[in-house]
A = this chain, B = another copy of it.
Amino acid sequence: MPLPADIPEVVIDRLPIYYRWLARMDAEGRSTVSSQELGDALGVTPAQIRKDLAYFGRFGKQGSGYSVVRLVEELRLILGLNRRWRMVLVGVGRLGRAIASYQGFGPDGFDLVGVFDASEEEIGGEVGGITVRDVREMESSLGAEPADIGIVAVPAEAAQEVIDALVRAGVRSILNYAPITVQVPRGVRIRRIDPLLSLQSMTYHLSLETDERESAPLQASA
């Protein structure tokens, strides 16, 4: 299957959201869906949905909507969800443990295959059913048993070093929970999960509304 390489990142970010909703519709026995309904459910305009899916150039018939089963299957292929991915977790503090106990990975093809930490107290213990290994042995461990994805849940000051080690060990995709911007070489993809960044983009809107409310009666003086 030809996969277009120049899809904007914002479009790729929406595909898993489409996939998840459509897979649920499929499980409920729905056969077709319109861009309008998909858009209403997900807070995206129908025009945007048609444009997003058109990048992959094969879905939908004018007037009759999209075939749910076909769209689900195509999105599965496009997103690489037709195979299993090997993940390692670094850091088993509160957050790392919460991540390890997340039930959503397995059913969607993500297997946690290794857990690492720097603390002597944690090494040898068990997290998510997996024995915690010494992060200093991570590179050689991954040399023997490679992983596709690294999840980093270490303190900010340790993040760059851990991520460098993951990259040296051949990991090409990193999910970073550490509250810091880190550098990765070209060809390695990193996503940041940071509640503060999400909060700060919401307060933009909250401020705007507060300002509007406060200034509305005084509009003439603006």
Question: What residues make up the interface of A, taking CB atoms closer than 8 Å to B?
Answer: 1, 3, 5, 9-10, 12-13, 15-17, 19-21, 41-42, 78-81, 83, 85, 87, 93-95, 97-99, 101-102, 104-105, 108-110, 148-149, 151, 172-173, 175, 179, 181, 189, 191, 193, 195-211
User: Contact check: which of B10, B17, B80, B196 meets A207 at CB < 8 Å?
Assistant: B80
Contact among B19, B101, B200 with A200 in the assembled complex (CB-CB below 8 Å): B19
- Interchain CA distance A97-B208 in the complex, whole Å: 31
CB distance from A115 to the nearest CB of B (A): 15
Number of copies: 2
A148 to B207, CA, bound (A): 11
CB distance from A77 to the nearest CB of B (A): 8
Least Cβ distance of A70 to chain B in Å? 18
Of A9, A41, A93, A195, the most chain B CB neighbours within 10 A belong to A195
Instruction: Give the distance in Å from the alpha carbon of A151 to the alpha carbon of B204 in the complex.
Output: 17
The listed residue (B173, B196, B208, B211) touching A16 by CB distance below 8 A is B196
Closest residue on chain B to residue A174 by CB atoms: B202
* Whole-angstrom CA separation of A181 from B101 in the bound complex: 20
Minimum distance in angstroms from A159 CB to a CB of chain B: 13
**A151: chain B residues within 8 A (beta carbon):** 195
State how many angstroms separate the Cβ of A82 from the closest Cβ of chain B.
Answer: 9
- In the complex, are the beta carbons of B3 and A211 less than 8 A apart? yes
Complex alpha-carbon distance, A102 and B204, angstroms: 21
Give the docked Cα–Cα distance between A3 and B204 (Å). 9
